[in-house]
Amino acid sequence: MRLMPAPAIFLDDRTSVFATNQAHATESEISLFYATNRLGVGPLEDRIYAIVPGRDLHLGEATIRIGEEGTTWDKIYAWSTGAGDDRRPFLHLDNLREIASVDPAQPLTPDAAAWFRSIEEARLRGADSDVIVYVHGANTTVERAAGQAAQLYHFTGRNAVVVLFAWPTAENFLRYSRDMVTAFGAAPQLLKLVELLSQHTGASHVDVFTYSAGGTVGSSALALAGQAGAQQMDAVRLGEVYHAAPDADFATFVAEMRDYASLARRITVSVNLNDSALRLSQAINRASRAGRPDMRELGPEETRWLLDGARNYGFEVLRVRPENIPGLSARSHTFWYDDPWVSSDVLITLLYHLGPGDRGLHRDVTPSGVAYWTFTDDYPVQLARVLEQLRQQGQLLEETVD
């Protein structure tokens, strides 16, 4: 996993996103919280996780290094705030240290309680009152998943707490169908993590950010919360739910959204209708994917709900049109971290909880009547206005780094 291009918000020469959390923003290594239902192997201080599921939820901390050993913060800062064409550095997973395990049927152990206290301490050091749970896609190693989650944390200016949920994948495209089975099996463990973060931290909300087949895991987990009724609604403080290029059965995805929409602050689904990975997934699964949907697969009731979703439940569709975004591949599946415009919009959504109109996006409507938002050619101008408003509100610091 290479460090993603700097989000557009980092290219604004008046903004110092890293300055907000100076105590931890200038460390060359990234410390990342993780939870996994993979089977753990080896010593706790240097853990390895298998491609098969285990019974318990394992909690720990990962150490990720940007670039080679000895890379200075000045170099990392230049990579993170520049739009240069130099080759991006690799992210290296140095260590996985397991701290505790959670048996879903048993109370928390003292070690598990200490892990949640560490998350709360990290949250209080940063500027974001929420905790973000990142759920990776299929065919993904733990190393790659940790790299994705680590740079999501890094590009919040290290102001947010990000917890990686690493579910079992076969790490081989030829075993993709098996991954989709384990995705459903991981949903109860993801829901348990969201519950525990809600109960054992002071986070205002728990945000859930999913990517690709992680959308199947996240959607199923949150649907379980909604299906449990009022009792479960009191157990989770669900905030932003963001599904990037979700590789999930479209009709099932919509049905599950109906179950949990009332729990969430907002649900954002970003789609690229030319997404080549989801085109292949559709052929394998014989159903359109939520990140490349076919409205003809929905019944009248589901269609009506989707049409009313933005008004009643804060449901938003972000249509990523590569023809409007300079340099973005027409068939991109990785746009949330590969494209500076999209990644910038992701960060503004998660950190500042702005609606799409307030984030500089343009509203449009499909021929079937579904409203969606998109980037226009002048997005950099719109983004500058958004950043200026955030500065005036005191939510962005002026640039102070030489």
Give the residue-averaged pLDDT of 133-156: 96
**The pLDDT value given to residue 86:** 65
Residue 82 has a pLDDT of 81
188 in any annotated domain: yes
pLDDT of residue 233: 60
* Confidence (pLDDT) at 401: 41
Share of the chain above pLDDT 90, in %: 74
What is the count of structural domains for the chain?
A: 1
Is residue 401 included in any domain, yes or no? no
Angle, helix 176-200 to helix 214-227, in steps of 10 degrees: 50
Mean pLDDT of all residues in 68-74: 90
Two structure tokens written together for 99: 């701290």
Q: What is the mean pLDDT of residues 300-327?
A: 90
| Cβ-contact 274, 322 below 8 angstroms | yes
Residue 309: its pLDDT value, please?
A: 80
237/397 Cα distance (integer angstroms): 29
SS3 12: coil
Computed over every residue of the chain, the mean pLDDT equals 91
**Inside any domain, residue 214:** yes
Q: pTM of this prediction?
A: 0.95
Q: Give the mean model confidence (pLDDT) for residues 60-83.
A: 90
> Is 3 among the domain residues?
no
CA-based nearest residue to 132, from 15, 265, 43: 265
Identify whether 291 is part of a domain. Answer: yes
pLDDT at 402 over 50: no
Cα(284)–Cα(342) distance, rounded to whole angstroms?
28
Distance between CA atoms of 34 and 97, rounded to whole angstroms? 9
Supply the pLDDT for residue 397.
Answer: 55
Of the listed ranges 15-19, 198-202, 224-228, the one predicted with least confidence: 15-19
Q: What is the mean pLDDT of residues 160-188?
A: 88
Can you tell me the mean pLDDT for 269-288? 96
Q: How far apart are CA 220 and CA 227, in angstroms?
A: 10
Amino acid at 345: D
Answer whether residue 109 shows pLDDT above 50: yes
- Measured CA to CA in angstroms, residue 280 lies from 98, 247, 283, 325 at distances of 36, 10, 5, 23
Interstrand relation of 266-271 and 315-319 (parallel, antiparallel or unpaired): parallel
CB-based contact 238:203 (threshold 8 Å): no
Query: Residues 336-358, buried b or exposed e (16+ Cβ, 10 A)?
Result: bbbbbbbbbbbbbbbbbbbebee
**Structural domain contains residue 23:** yes
Does residue 278 lie in a domain region? yes
Q: Is the pLDDT of residue 374 over 90?
A: yes
pLDDT at 104 over 90: no
| Percentage above 70 pLDDT, the chain | 93
pLDDT of residue 83: 63
Determine the structural domain holding residue 164 and report its residue range.
8-392
**1 part of a folded domain:** no
The Cα 65–Cα 93 span in angstroms is 6
Which one-letter amino acid corresponds to residue 174?
Answer: L
Q: Judge whether 298 and 306 are in contact, CB under 8 Å.
A: yes
Neighbour order of strands in the sheet with 371-374: 91-102, 48-66, 29-41, 161-166, 131-135, 206-211, 238-244, 266-271, 315-319, 371-374, 362-365
pLDDT of residue 307: 85
